[in-house]
A = this chain, B = another copy of it.
């Protein structure tokens, strides 16, 4: 049995070749190998070549765990959310990933299962000394006032629908889009605007509903209680079947595009013309909105900027930048007018 085999048996050899393996092969000390990795200009070209060659042959690459242990830095950021398969989260995740890579950071996903059962705090804590240098929290469901109980000075950025003051945040300026949407419909002559909201435990849903209500009030227009949906097209469809029977409804602002698609479906089925009889506006600006029947007027959110800004703010904190207490960035949303909205016409 070779000594290598013995060594493997003893150590388990789960790790790849180490700096010492390379050193031995190249006939230099470990430190020189380290220098070749980090400050090659300090090593004589001939030696450098030899080391590089040994690295190549052994398939060496520095062990991140060891580096992390030594430096206390992981080169990684955590991304916390409920789910990652919905429009907003997926788009933001992708943008965060790209922004992080620019800075040589990797991204670790962490999902918080049920908002009720296990709160955000435990999940966040689980990460604390784990493998990330900072945390981006994509919060939507759940009570946004719940404090996160993270260690002091731990870099955190929150993506919320409103500042909660607790942490720096990047918020989507949803009210601005909602106002534009409401105004757009009112300008078209509608007497009021109905609203199909998201679930009540969702912060963005509340923010959108509130902005809608406030705008109607500000315009001196009657407010009809919103109908509660759950973000899904199915809910939009169900609700649409009810709305179809109500001649009072001539303009509907949906909490998101999916809901709008469901609504459009139901109205179409009932032979109600959009925008002839009812105008519909969505929210999110998903790519399919342009190809709804009819093409959907919607409020576009800029998830790319959101992701970029989140990373930016987080990295600032990780670098210990002069953090004036609470930087907040608002990413504007924008009304995109298509063909699902039109002048009011008595039904």
Binding site for B on A (CB under 8 A): 12-16, 59-66, 68-69, 71-74, 76, 83-86, 90-91, 93-95, 97-98, 101, 106-111, 113, 125-126, 128-131, 151, 232-234, 236-237, 258, 261-262, 264-265, 268, 287-288, 290-293, 295
Contacts and interface: CB of A to CB of B under 8 A. Distances in A.
Nearest to A110: B106
A83 B304 CA distance: 13
Given A84-B94, A293-B293, A69 B61 contact: no
Contacts of A74: 65, 131
A264 B151 CA distance: 53
A64 B130 contact: yes
A109 B93 contact: yes
Contacts of A126: 61
A90 B87 CA distance: 9
B109 A109 contact: yes
Contact of A258 (B125, B151, B264, B288): B288
Contacts of A130: 61, 64, 106
A9 to B, nearest CB: 14
Contacts of A131: 64-65, 74, 76, 106, 131
B65 A68 contact: yes
A287 B232 contact: yes
B233 A262 contact: no
A128 B76 contact: no
A268 B290 contact: no
Contacts of A16: 128-129, 151
A40 to B, nearest CB: 18
Contact of A94 (B83, B101, B288): B83
B291 A265 contact: yes
A136 to B, nearest CB: 12
Contacts of A295: 265
A239 to B, nearest CB: 12
B12 A72 contact: yes
A340 B295 CA distance: 18
Contacts of A71: 14
Identify the 8 closest CB pairs spanning chains A and B, nearest first.
A14-B72, A65-B68, A293-B293, A85-B94, A90-B90, A265-B291, A65-B69, A15-B72
Contact of A291 (B15, B125, B264): B264
Q: Which of A72, A110, A129, A287 gathers most chain B CB within 10 Å?
A: A129
Nearest to A98: B111
A17 to B, nearest CB: 8
13 contacts: A14-B71, A59-B128, A60-B129, A61-B125, A61-B126, A65-B68, A69-B69, A84-B94, A85-B90, A85-B94, A97-B111, A265-B295, A293-B293
Q: Which of A12, A68, A84, A130 gathers most chain B CB within 10 Å?
A: A84
